[in-house]
């Protein structure tokens, strides 16, 4: 498990690959460049890795923007709502063995967990790490 609770607030730890998975989706929004690079380095050796990222500049740069992970499939989105919409549809059709690695703000992580729950993806198949703003919606 990549999270725990301290004084009622969730704590997140660095993302680590789950080698039992057969497909791996790294999903990120509003993460710092350093945290994103660290997570990608940790996941780089996984087969069948897809990157789902909110980055309006990369969305318009095309497939050539994924030079850091040439074997990974990359999906770039202009905004978080577009990513979450596409991700929900893909999650609900996903096969057993999918592992999701989410990196971003608390609200983004919460949204990913809710999507996974709605699509009947086991909580242990979703690993999260916090990056970006520390504010949480109340």
What is the pLDDT averaged over residues 47-75?
66
Instruction: Return the SS3 of 4.
Output: strand
Torsion from C-alpha of 13, 89, 23, 132, nearest 10 degrees: -20
Task: Find tokens 């520390």 and name the residue.
Answer: 134
- What average pLDDT score do residues 61-78 get? 63
Look at the pTM and tell me if it is higher than 0.75: yes
pLDDT tens digits, residue range 79-97? 999 999 999 999 999 999 9
Find the range with the poorest average confidence among 66-80, 96-110, 118-132.
66-80
For residue 61, pLDDT over 50 is answered with: no
Average pLDDT over the chain reads 81
Cα end-to-end span (Å), the chain: 25
> Residue 66: pLDDT above 60?
no
Predicted pLDDT at 63 = 44
- Three-state DSSP class for 15? coil
Query: What per-residue confidence (pLDDT) applies to 120?
Result: 95
């Amino acid at each position: 498990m990549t999270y725990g609770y301290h004084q009622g607030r969730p704590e997140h730890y660095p993302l680590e690959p789950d080698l039992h998975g057969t497909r791996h989706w790294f999903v990120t929004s509003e993460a710092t460049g350093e945290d994103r690079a660290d997570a990608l380095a940790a996941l780089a050796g996984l087969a069948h890795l897809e990157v789902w990222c909110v980055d309006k500049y990369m969305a318009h740069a095309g497939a050539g923007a994924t030079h850091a992970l040439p074997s990974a499939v990359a999906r770039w989105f202009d905004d978080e709502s577009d990513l979450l919409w596409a991700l929900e549809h893909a999650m609900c059709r996903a096969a057993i063995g999918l592992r999701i690695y989410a990196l971003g703000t608390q609200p983004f992580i919460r949204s990913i967990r809710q999507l996974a729950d709605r699509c009947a993806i086991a909580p242990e198949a979703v690993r999260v790490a916090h990056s970006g703003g520390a504010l949480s919606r109340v």
